Amino acid sequence: MRPSPAFLGLVLATGAFAGEAVKKITFEDDVVPIFRDNCLKCHNPDKLKGDLDLTSFGNTLKGGGSGAAVNAGDPDGSQLYKSIIHADEPTMPPNAKLSARDIGVIRDWIAGGLLQGRSSKAIAGLKPAVDLAIKAGAVGRPEGPPPMPGPLALDPVVRAARGTALTAVAASPWAPVVALAGPRQIVLHRTDDLEFLGVLPFPDGSPADVKFSRNGKLLIAGGGRGGKSGLVTVWDIATAERVITIGDQFDTVLAADLSADQQWIALGGPDRVLKIYNTKDGALEHRLKKHTDWVTALEFSPDGKVLASGDRNGGLVLWDAANGQEMFTLPGHKGAITAISWRGDAEMLVSASEDGTLKLWKARDGSALRSLNAHPGGVLAARFAPDDRIVSSGRDHKVQVWNTTGRNVATAAFKGELPNRVAFSDDGKRIICSDWHGRVLVFDAANGKAVGELTTPPPSAKVSALE
């Protein structure tokens, strides 16, 4: 029997002969580099020529305005393949042709079943890459023990010679765990006994925003490399495995969140566009262009129905999370939005700004409830507790706790450099605060007294493991 052209192409492209394993052609390893070099100037989320986005696996499978771009197992019937061999309009690239090798790689990828990664299985048609969505009514605290991290890597990815400001601090909503984000890694500690738990590597650059899912089982990080790339990664806390990566941006992601039902991932950054992706297939569902400057903060409401986003120009907007429609514009801030946080009942949110104020808003109608002159010079971070208390930090070098009437109910005994990130522990009894030199301090939320300090990067993992 004579070998098929597809098989011969695969042999030639991979160098696989008798007795040698055939290399799998995958989107992540083989196809994306070709797209980056030749296609993404016209087929990215910000341009979408022909409504076709080739920056992610899910969007490539989704296709463009004329339908599916690729049909698994059928290169000759795939519009993308016909376009790159210039057998059909529109030709891709329009004024040139890919090399024979690149054409062969894309043909073999389609013929091989559209593998996303090395561990992926061949598919017969459009199929979700991952489905994180949880059933209605399952939002909130999960049944059983609180979700704690499983075995994590113990050796730090980066150990800076000098202290470096953390980019994000996030506490689990149900477990005594805090995530501390720095260059190329996220370090996890317990908030009760301050024990070091381990490290999640972030090889894609620096995470700029970190959050736990509303059920505490997942950790979300948005980040990247400034001016080069950006993405959002989601880990399963129990297994430390990446379960989905979304975005493939051309600049770092500054703000990101996962909806309570885990159906949507929202992200924003320097391109000023708020984007909402479907976790079922990684497809971009909504591109929202309301913001006039960098998107610096965003968060879904605890019930997942509303998305709040803020920008570097003080713009603050509430969106319908499901359909991407603008609900309310919240005016009043005169400086960059540095943080957004929702109260647990989804009825109220707080916004923090470099104008020095904390503003409380009523979610139902977008009306202003209260404005607090919290930190002269600028508010750097703010977060709701499990109840209606708010912790904030600012350029006045103070870390303070407020109630929703605007009363200052506690002031932490903070002594250090600029306190740039703050969060409450899961039970609201402790405050975790990082300063400009990377120190992470823990305070009693009731009286503001110092409780201890978290070491990040942690002590040598090899030493810790033996002790």
pLDDT above 90 coverage of the chain, percent: 59
Residue 459 sits in a domain of what CATH number?
Answer: 2.130.10.10
Residues 23 and 96 in one domain: yes
Q: Which of 180, 214, 210, 174 is nearest to 342 (CA)?
A: 214
C-alpha 27, offset from chain centre: 21
Residues 106 and 174 in one domain: no
On whether residue 377 sits in a domain, the answer given is yes
On whether residue 427 sits in a domain, the answer given is yes
Residues 196 and 64 in one domain: no
Residues 85 and 199 in one domain: no
Residues 89 and 184 in one domain: no
pLDDT tens digit sequence for 323-374: 999 999 999 999 999 999 999 999 999 999 999 999 999 999 999 999 999 9
Report phi then psi at 198, rounded to 5: 150, -170
CA angle centred on 322, ends 171 and 232, rounded to 5°:
45
SS3 state of residue 105: helix
SS3 state of residue 121: coil
On whether residue 395 sits in a domain, the answer given is yes
Contact 279, 220 (CB under 8 A): no
Enclosing domain of residue 461: 168-466
Residues 251 and 325 in one domain: yes
> Among residues 111, 132, 151, which one ends one of the domains?
111
Residues 48 and 182 in one domain: no
Residue 86 is predicted with a pLDDT of 87
Residues 200 and 303 in one domain: yes
Instruction: Grade residue 119 by pLDDT with cuts at 50, 70 and 90.
Output: confident
pLDDT at 6 over 70: no
Top-confidence range, 1-10, 220-229, 238-247:
220-229
On whether residue 161 sits in a domain, the answer given is no
Residue 467 is predicted with a pLDDT of 30
pLDDT tens digit sequence for 120-178: 777 644 333 456 777 555 567 888 888 999 988 887 766 665 668 899 999 999 999 99
SS3 state of residue 202: coil
pTM over 0.85: no
State how far the alpha carbon of 53 is from the alpha carbons of 59, 268, 276, 290, in Å: 6, 18, 14, 21
Residues 181 and 89 in one domain: no
Query: How many structural domains comprise the chain?
Result: 2
Instruction: Grade residue 459 by pLDDT with cuts at 50, 70 and 90.
Output: low
Residues 77 and 179 in one domain: no
Estimate the crossing angle of helix 100-111 against helix 5-14, to 10 degrees: 120
Q: In 112-171, where does DSSP find H-type helix?
A: none
Sheet-wide strand order for 185-190: 168-171, 177-182, 185-190, 196-201
Instruction: Grade residue 283 by pLDDT with cuts at 50, 70 and 90.
Output: confident
On whether residue 384 sits in a domain, the answer given is yes
On whether residue 233 sits in a domain, the answer given is yes
Contacts for 128 with CB less than 8 Å, ≥ 6 apart: 58, 280, 281
CA angle centred on 155, ends 149 and 158, rounded to 5°:
110
